[in-house]
Amino acid sequence: MEFSSKLLENAVNEMSQLPGIGKRTALRLVLHLLKQSENQTVTLAESLRKMREEVNFCSNCHNISDTKLCEICANPNRNEALVCVVEDIRDVMAIENTSQYKGHYHVLGGKISPMDGVGPGELTIQSLIDKVKNGRVEELIFALSSTMEGDTTNFYIFKQIESFNIKTTTIARGISVGDELEYADEVTLGRSIVHRIPFETSLKN
């Protein structure tokens, strides 16, 4: 792509570094900005820069937060003995949306993935183990996605905390509510039969 302007070229090149955005899409986005008021671009640029420079992570759960302790960790009505281990803030938002969980979170910041150069040291695993060591945790809920990386991460953490004798659970895998059995994949359907629950329990929610 040959550009008639260096300024335009720089902007397009920077935009196309974002995941899923190629050169053509980047050009479309940048030309859109040129058609809008100057103010919109300045606000966008400023909000990105400010977010990146001033971002803060909760000292307890490592979730993105504007305060030292995030709202969830600072809330006295939430059970700090119950800790749900998730990959990133999107998982926290998804679980919070259900309004079904009143415990704390622990945001790992990723999954162990040697192929991508992510080892246990890159994640907040040590801080989780320290939390368990301090005896403040009664139950750890693994809520990582069930991929090879997720399972590896779960197992790595489990091995590290096994000796502390706390309860460890994992979120239930099964057929989605409203789904037809015939379209479910075999692994999920198989698990949902093996891990069946008492009918009375299912009525409660």
88 binds a second copy (CB under 8 A): yes
Considering only residues 62 through 81, tell me which ones interact with a second copy, judged by CB under 8 A: 63-66, 70-72
Stretch of 35-43, 128-136, 176-184, 193-201 contacting a second copy, by CB under 8 A: 35-43
Task: Find all residues with CB under 8 Å of 30, minimum gap 6, and list them.
Answer: 8, 11, 12, 15
Question: Among 75-83, 86-94, 151-159, 189-197, which window interacts with a second copy (CB under 8 A)?
Answer: 86-94
DSSP letters of 92-127?
Answer: HHHHHHHT---EEEEE-SS--BGGGTB-GGGTTHHH
| Displacement of CA 159 from its chain's centroid (Å) | 22
Question: Taking contact as CB under 8 A, which single stretch among the options 83-91, 141-149, 164-172, 194-202 is the one that binds a second copy?
Answer: 83-91
Rg (CA), the chain: 22
Q: Which of 78, 80, 89, 192 binds a second copy (CB under 8 A)?
A: 89
Q: Which two tokens stand for residue 41?
A: 């671009």
Which residue stretches of 16-101 are H helix?
A: 23-35, 38-54, 71-74, 89-98
Q: Closest separation between CB of residue 3 and a second copy, Å?
A: 8
> Order of strands, edge to edge, in the sheet holding 79-86?
103-107, 79-86, 139-142, 167-170
Virtual torsion, Cα 147, 19, 51, 93, nearest 10 deg: -30
By the rule CB under 8 A, 34 interacts with a second copy: yes
- Candidates 81, 93, 148, 197; binder of a second copy (CB under 8 A) is 93
Of 42-50, 149-157, 172-180, 191-199: span binding a second copy (CB under 8 A): 42-50
Q: Which residues lie near a second copy (CB under 8 A)?
A: 1-8, 10-11, 13-15, 17-21, 25, 27-34, 38, 40-56, 58, 63-66, 70-72, 88-90, 92-93, 96-97
